[in-house]
Amino acid sequence: MRLPSRSFFGFFSGAAGALALAAAFHLIAWGKETEPAIRVETTPVNRDAKIGASYAAVVKKASPSVVNIYTTRTVHMRVVNPLFNDPFFRQFSQLFGDQFGLGANRVLTQKQRSLGSGVIVSPDGYILTANHVVAGADEVKVKVADQKEYTARIVGKDPPTDVAVLKIDAKDLPAITLADSDQLEVGDVVLAIGNPFGLSRTVTMGIVSALGRSGLRVFSQYQDFIQTDAPINEGNSGGALIDAEGRLIGINDAIFSSNGGNLGIGFAVPINMARYVMDHLIRSGKVTRGNLEGVSIQDVTPDLAAGFNLPDQKGALVADVLSDSAAQKAGLKSGDVITGFNGKDVSDAHALQLLVAESLPGSSATIKLVRDGVEKTVEVTLTEMRGDMAPEETSPDNLASPDQTRTDALDGVTVADLQPSVRAQLNVPADIKGALVYDVDPDSNAADAGLQRGNLILEINHQPVRVAADAVRLGRQAKGGVILLKIWRREGSFAGTQFITVDNIKKKK
């Protein structure tokens, strides 16, 4: 499933619905390695309890499960001696070589060390942490509560969720109890435990500020973050976010910061997602994810909801369906709005991405959708998600000048027929038909909507566009406050169709 990338703002490292939870308390036996016993309690926190004067008992229960992580990696750096900025020394070196050890261009080898946190989840030494804490490490050391130090083995890493699993050779360790993060509510009291700046087992308190945060430019692709105001600082990454009963609800991962310090906006990976990843890493060393093959999806904006006569913005809009794909065979069509997946509501495109990713490849999924105002249900067989290959970069800047036609309602847009040479230049698939956007006035409504040179207009207000004349005709006929466009574009690693809306009111210059 292709999802256009989205990002909000810079972040600083501090560092759904994953597994079925069948009982109020049980043990889960994990697969391949040593089958660790993971203690889980699925009941929600008691929200009727009065907030006490102290959380000391909760901290005593959970704090021994949090460990210090020390990593070491070898870095090779090429350096140039500043003396060689002087022409005399450069000439001297050319005449006599480097027999004096001045080192015009030397390679230095250094050991870099970093700090992080982790959480013991089984008595026999399985530890959850953030992937970026151990990424690239040559050696990983773990110090537990009694100050004993162990060399850790990396069982597996999953960059898409920024989760990693470590193993140390030890017995009878103080393993934390896992909760069900799906039971969390905004306003629940939480405590963050970690090792900020190397200060062992530091505890801070806050609440759940928000749930399901995504679209953040941090380490991970699959994001369903718990947002909290519990202070998280450098070194907290991989540490524990616990509830008021001392149970693990998240792995601390990142903070929002403009200066590197805590601003009260921290993020943690929900424990249900981390458990799903851990299960796969322990059993097979990698995470296998489902894929809804052949669809490109996007969020439903207010204007798109109006353009598709939808009652609200809930759901994921299907922008494109590839021919001969699993999605096409299941009956999905461009313009469908997916509102449910395997019995769970789909709020937006990212929510659908998470639900699909956490499904087994080869399994059958039930999709609930809205098409032309009518609810439908289709069954689709999921494939396996594989690493996406970025398409070849192309530039529309040097397009050969074709015959051009200016539209009326799409003020500021110049369109042209898509010639074979231009199709090849832009690497447009053979089955894509439309009018080439040859030029867009940067001060136009179309430019404000995101229409760019090199895009193709495929539809205007649900009517197909095959050639430039279609775009001109449909543009002149367009009524209402906005024009709904279906376009094809290539941008970075994304290539496919999207829906956009253009204001149909003439812009004042």
Q: Which domains does the chain have, with CATH numbers?
A: 30-45+60-69+118-281 (2.40.10.120), 290-384 (2.30.42.10), 396-503 (2.30.42.10)
Write down the catalytic residue from 158, 162, 188, 303.
162
Taking only the tens place, the pLDDT of each residue in 442-473 is 888 888 888 888 889 999 988 899 888 888 88
The pTM for the full model equals 0.67
Share of the chain above pLDDT 70, in %: 77
State how beta strands 163-167 and 189-194 pair: unpaired
Write down the catalytic residue from 114, 209, 214, 237.
237
Judge whether residue 166 has pLDDT over 90.
yes
Judge whether residue 249 has pLDDT over 90.
yes
462 is catalytic: no
Q: Please, are residues 38 and 27 in contact by the beta-carbon 8 Å criterion? A: yes
Cα-Cα end-to-end distance for the chain: 41
Q: Which of 168, 173, 109 is nearest to 141 (CA)?
A: 168
Which segments of 218-270 are extended strands (E)?
225-228, 240-243, 248-255, 266-270
Q: Which residue has the higher pLDDT, 346 or 410?
A: 346
Taking only the tens place, the pLDDT of each residue in 304-326 is 888 888 888 899 999 888 888 89
162 is catalytic: yes
Band of the pLDDT at 16, cuts 50, 70, 90?
A: very low
Out of 81-85, 213-217, 391-395, 432-436, least confident range: 391-395
CA–CA gap between residue 227 and residue 388 (Å, rounded): 29
CA–CA gap between residue 400 and residue 419 (Å, rounded): 10
Band of the pLDDT at 29, cuts 50, 70, 90?
A: very low
237 is catalytic: yes
Residue range 13-24: mean pLDDT, rounded: 36
CA–CA gap between residue 80 and residue 83 (Å, rounded): 9
